[in-house]
Every structure is written in C-alpha cells, then in structure tokens.
Structure 1
Amino acid sequence: MYRIKKVLNVNVVLAEQDNKEYITFGKGVGYHQKVGNIISEKDVSNKFAPVEGGLKGEMMQSLNNIDPVYIEITTEIVDFAEKKLNESLLPNIYYSLTDHLSFAVQRYKDKQVLGNRIYWEMKTYYPEMFEIGEYGLQVLSSKLDIRLPKEEAANIAFHVINASTKSTGKMNIIDVTQLMDNVLQTIRTLTGGSIETSGLNYERFITHVKFFAERYLSDSMLSDDEGLLKNVYSLYPEASKIAIKTEKAIVAIYDKELTQEELAYLTIHIHRLLLN
C-alpha cells in the first residue's frame, strides 16, 4: 500500500511506502486523489525512487507539467521493449523517456528540430534497440498525429539502452559507439569499402567489436597470448595487415595498445569479413 504525498498528474503520484518515497505510475492512479489517500499495489504499474536533493524537485516539477499522454506513450514503448528484449528495463526510463518525448514534440512544434549525431551508428550497431525506437515513433504518430524525424528513433533507442539491465555498469554508450565506428571506418578504408554488411560474419564482427570496445575502454582487455597471435598471423596474412593498421589507428586516437589476444581475435573476425 502507498500513501499519497503529492499528485503530479492523473497518472503519476509521489507516494510513500515503508518510510521511502517513490514516484509511482499507473493509469488513472492520481485521478480524483488527494494527499493522504491510500493506493494499492494493483493500481501501481511501475515506480522508482527519485534522486535526492535539488534534482528531485526538478524531476517532480517536470512530471507535473507533462501531458499524461506522454506517460501513456512511454508505457507502450517500454512494454514493447521489454517483450522484445525479454528483460525488465530500469524504472527510471518512465521519467527520462517521458521527459524526452515531451520536449522532442515541443521542439518539433517550435520548428527547432535537432538531429542525432550517432543516428547511423545506432541504427547499424544496435538494430534491435533501433527497431524499438522506430516503434516509438509509430506510437507517437498514432497518439498525437505527429511524425517526428527519423533521427528520433535513435534517441528513443539510446534511452532504452541506458535503461537496459544488461547494460548496467558498462561504459558510456556514446564512447563505445564512437570507438566501434572508428574501428569499422578504418577497416572500410583499408579494404576500399568492400565490406559486405549483410550476413552472419558481419553480425559476428559487429558483436565482437562492441564487446571489444567495452573491454578496451574499461581497461579489461583479454590477456596477452603471443602464441595465438603468431598462429593467426600465419594463417590469415591479409587480415593481419588490416588488423595491425587498424590497431595503429586506434592507438593514435586513444593512446593505448591492444593486447596480443585482442589483436588476434580482431584479425580472425576481419578474416571472416573478407570471406563474404
């Protein structure tokens, strides 16, 4: 059971349970409610504990001023995402995405449309998340009869990634994506743009580079294995040359060398790309 401390809007209330405050979401949970009233668990679809201090007040004021339809839209997007990803997203997405969508639509109406500088990367490296973003645009169009620019799909995907429990504790997604893009663009240049971007080998390559980027940026690369690297070099000489030049490009940007084992596995995946 929750005791209402403040009604933010028809679908959002600040409530207390066991001496802890929560921002609670539920369809009609704040309708005709007053401070001190009790709401049951079944009326609350989601909740999260707000940050303390000044940001807490800003968050509550923001929710208080947001049209309830954006909470409905967010809920529909989150439901779709959780089914598609087979996981429960972190509940703070109900605030972050709701606030973002409200602001994005306002910018659109004010003719202040902003792009997304990692649109292509998000679409390429996180296709599943990007599909959720595209679904979100469809929901917005259906509910509000507004067609936001396609770049907004990447923004929605970004919020979903940040709320994914599988992403918790990982590196900043923008940093990871930029490193991935640096690797891919270098290899594209070294191969004359001849990389085939469809097929299982390309998907494996993208997955490998994604995890490599996380390891590289978090200083948790695979250990050195000189024997493996020598063996790979002898087996795949063409891929080895590309891998070595790619490493030099990475070191020039990030000032940190790859371990021998990381370089070996990068070579293996480049070899597979060349087979396409």
Structure 2
Amino acid sequence: MKITKILNNNAVVVKDGEEEKIAVGAGIAFNKKRNDIVNPHKIEKLFVTKENDKLEQLLSRIPEEHFTISEEIISYAEEYIGTKLNERIHIVLADHLSFAIERERDGIQLKNKLLHEIKILYRKEYEVGLWAVEHIKKQCDVEMPVDEAAFIALHIHTMKLQGGDVRETVRQTTIVRDMVQMIMEFLGIKVKEDDLSYQRLVTHLRFALTRTNSYEHHTMDDEMLEMIQKKFSLSYRCATEVAKELLDAHGVSLPSHELGYITLHIERLRKQ
C-alpha cells in the first residue's frame, strides 16, 4: 500500500489496489512522504467508508489524541453492548468528542435536558458514556459532567448498526420527556427517577412511539379496554389528554388500545 496523502502523524490515505483507504496507527506517517510504502505492522486500523472524504477532513482538523480516544470508546462500546456500530460512528463521535473536550477546557458546560430519560431508555449506552467520561479524564485530564455521558450515549444508541439519525433519537426522547411531565402535572405528583413505576412508564412511552412509527401496536380486546376506561377513569382521562397533546404538537396519533396500556402504567404510578 502506497501513501497518497498524509493527514497527520498517525493517519494516512493509502492506495490498496484500486481502492482508497485510510490507515491509522501510532507514528505511521513519521518520516514518510507521498508514494512511500506503508509498514503493515504500523497499521492499527484500516478504514474503508463511503465517507472517506469527511474522515480525511476530520483527521486533518482535530487533535490526533481526540481521534484515538474516540476509537477506544467505540471499541469499548462494541464489546460492552455486544454489537457492531455503524461505520459513521468513527466520524460522528470523534467530531463530537473533540468539540466537547475543547468546550470543556474553555469552561463551557452544556446541560443535557434529557439526562434522566437517557439513563432509563439507553441504560447500557449510558454506562458506556460514564466509562468514556472517566477515560477522557485519564487521557486528557479533562473532567466532564454526567451530562456528557448522556450525549455520548445518544450517539452510541443511534449508531447501532442501523446508523439512524441522532436528531430523530433526540426528538423521540424529548417527546417522551414532555409526555411524562404532562402526566405528572395532570396527576399533581412528583416521582423519583429511580422509582420502578416511573421507569416502566418512560420505557413504555418510548416503545409506544417506536411502534407508532413502524405501524405496529399493542392489541387489546374491546372488553378489556372498556373495563380499564371505567375502572381507572382518571388515569384514562390523563392518557387521552397526553395523546391529544401528542397529536396537536407532533402529529403523532396513538390508537385507543395503546391508550389502554398507557392508562395501566399511569394508574400504577398514581397508586405510588
């Protein structure tokens, strides 16, 4: 493999046959120039992505240390969660982390308004985020808040194989937060985030939205739904108010049978 472009001391663009790849490794470009042969023993990772140009730009713009830390977090995440992440994670996470580290060094901290929901909905990803925050502290001597662990968790979750859109993940998590807040205000209660009934409600609402997007719904026979409506009238009224707001604000319609299940979760929460 011949070097066609040097990105930094640890990353080069190489030509492998007819294919262009990005080779990464400690000191891989040291004392090298264009058309030199790459030492295969120096290559730690070889990237062949549809977005090679974006990866090239990123590697030439951010500190090498930041990309290395990002790759270590990705490796840990894939092993801990037990799944390969979409190839876009190499660009998205490194870009995010580099900006976050520089921002933290400038004394600028961003609060994650979805922290509690992320901790519940994406537990394993959040645990990866906590590990990442500690790893950054060890490697860069930069101490980040748990809010950053939640931001990292969102990126990890979004890039699980399907390589979804982080904006859609944030949108759905925000909707869940708003629905929960509306339920609390309707019932006039406050519940701790570690309460099991609270966690079940948040999780159910998240999957209710997912099912709505994929046109899949829980089914409940009409007699059972009618019984729930009568027996838990207050909780059902709460569920219908939330559904109305969801439709008005976001154009998302929940079927009546889904409202039956949400009513059961609200009733369990109310009894607490």
Give yes or no for TM over 0.5. Answer: yes
Residue 6 of structure 1 aligns with an amino acid whose one-letter code is K
| Mapping 1:75-114, distance limit 5 Å | 75-114=71-110
Compared with structure 1, are the counterparts of its residues 32 and 234 closer, same or farther at alpha carbon in structure 2 (3 Å cutoff)?
A: farther
Aligned residue among 132, 140, 154 for 1:144? 140
What is the number of residues matched between the two proteins? 270
Matched with 1:183 is: 179
Matched with 1:208 is: 204
Structure 2: where are the runs of 5+ without partners? Answer: none
Residue 160 of structure 1 aligns with an amino acid whose one-letter code is I
Distance in 2 (alpha carbons) for counterparts of 1:266 and 1:44: 49
Distance in 2 (alpha carbons) for counterparts of 1:184 and 1:167: 27
CA drift of 1:139 comes to: 1.2
Distance in 2 (alpha carbons) for counterparts of 1:80 and 1:244: 43
Compared with structure 1, are the counterparts of its residues 10 and 91 closer, same or farther at alpha carbon in structure 2 (3 Å cutoff)?
A: farther
CA drift of 1:212 comes to: 1.5
CA contact (8 A) 2:116 2:193 kept: no
SS at match of 2:266: helix
Matched with 2:217 is: 222
Distance in 1 (alpha carbons) for counterparts of 2:133 and 2:154: 14
| Mapping 1:117-136, distance limit 5 Å | 117-136=113-132
| Mapping 1:1-276, distance limit 5 Å | 2-17=1-16, 19-36=18-35, 37-38=37-38, 40=40, 43-45=43-45, 47-51=47-51, 56=53, 59-165=55-161, 168=164, 172-195=168-191, 197-216=193-212, 218=213, 220-222=215-217, 227=222, 228-276=224-272
Compared with structure 1, are the counterparts of its residues 41 and 174 closer, same or farther at alpha carbon in structure 2 (3 Å cutoff)?
A: farther
CA drift of 1:117 comes to: 4.3
Distance in 2 (alpha carbons) for counterparts of 1:129 and 1:253: 29
TM-score, normalised to structure 2, is 0.82
CA contact (8 A) 1:80 1:132 kept: yes
SS at match of 2:13: strand
Distance in 2 (alpha carbons) for counterparts of 1:19 and 1:231: 68
Compared with structure 1, are the counterparts of its residues 223 and 94 closer, same or farther at alpha carbon in structure 2 (3 Å cutoff)?
A: closer
Distance in 2 (alpha carbons) for counterparts of 1:101 and 1:168: 19
Compared with structure 1, are the counterparts of its residues 241 and 46 closer, same or farther at alpha carbon in structure 2 (3 Å cutoff)?
A: farther
TM-score, normalised to structure 1, is 0.81
CA drift of 1:184 comes to: 0.8
1:89-123 CA deviation, whole Å, 9 max, x = no partner? 22322222222222222233334444444344434
Compared with structure 1, are the counterparts of its residues 208 and 229 closer, same or farther at alpha carbon in structure 2 (3 Å cutoff)?
A: same
Farther-moved stretch of structure 1 (20-29 vs 177-186): 20-29
Distance in 2 (alpha carbons) for counterparts of 1:212 and 1:42: 49
Structure 1: where are the runs of 5+ without partners? Answer: none
Distance in 2 (alpha carbons) for counterparts of 1:188 and 1:249: 14
CA drift of 1:223 comes to: 7.5
CA contact (8 A) 2:85 2:163 kept: no
SS at match of 1:99: helix
Percent pairwise identity = 26
